Structure 1
Amino acid sequence: MKHKLIYKNGLLYTSIKMIHEGKCVNIDDVIIDTGAFHTIITTDFLDELGAKFSNDDKLIEASGYGGASSYAVRKRIDSISCNSSSLKDFKIDFGEIDPNERVNGLLGLDFLREAKIILDLDELVMYTQ
């Protein structure tokens, strides 16, 4: 099934859903970022999930475009889905992305590749075969 992407400000946006320990949160304004090695979501949604820190969580240093670096928590969540593509036991980074809070997350190559996402940039849709 093809999922229509939103094109604004020169970027592709979508929505995702995360489920962890019985709690579900829907997140809009997530950029599809093929240049991001790992998916990262703002920490606000970690709070919304009510996710507690565990011994498996890792503090990581993330570097962005231009060499800027920041810290994030890498945490395993029960599932993440985008349209009909869903992955279970997936590790997501939670940290600051946009200090102006216009972006809620970056859907990175880790999700796109593991979910076998195909991006059709002509039609502005994503799907799996």
Structure 2
Amino acid sequence: MHKVQFKNGLIYTSITLTHEDKSIVIDDVIIDTGASHTIIVADFLENMDVSFSEEDKLVKASGYGGTVCYSVRKRIDSITCGDIKLDNLKIDFGEIDPNERVNGLLGLDFCIKAGVVIDLVDLAIIKKAYEQK
């Protein structure tokens, strides 16, 4: 079980990205089941001294209300949220919030692959053991 914060009407957590033996903790990440894909502010790759590669892909995303933005989809060695860890997940890196209050969105891709249950009573996320179909 990993405790989360409820603030400003949203659920926030911290995550750790690990890639090429480098790690960084990212706070103020929103758990967003409305986001089909996890996206993190690109500055965190620079802070880890990780560059983009030829296998990375430019992707176009549409947000609520029809806003369109571009990001780079990159495979990351691992992403950890509390005691929940996924290896080799493709994450988008780009702009999320022009006012820089949000560092990322932990999307439905992570939640489904990790088997996450969001407990809104105890403000926690729990990895549920299940058989993937």
TM-score category, normalised to shorter length: over 0.9
**How is 1:6-17 mapped onto 2 (pairs within 5 angstroms)?**
6-17=5-16
Deviations 1:40-64 (A, max 9, x none): 0001101112112211100011110
Distance in 2 separating the partners of 1:48 and 1:89: 20
Gaps of 5+ in 1: none
Distance in 2 separating the partners of 1:12 and 1:46: 23
With 24-33 and 46-55 compared, the bigger mean Cα shift is at 46-55
The count of corresponding residues between Structure 1 and Structure 2 is 128
Q: Corresponding residue for 1:78?
A: 77
In structure 2, the residue corresponding to 1:70 is in which secondary structure?
Answer: strand
Q: Corresponding residue for 1:54?
A: 53
Deviations 1:69-88 (A, max 9, x none): 10000000110010111111
Pair 1:94-2:89 in alignment: no
Q: When the two structures are superposed, what TM-score results if normalisation uses the length of structure 2?
A: 0.94
Gaps of 5+ in 2: 129-133
Name the aligned partner's letter for residue 104 of structure 2. Answer: G
Q: When the two structures are superposed, what TM-score results if normalisation uses the length of structure 1?
A: 0.97
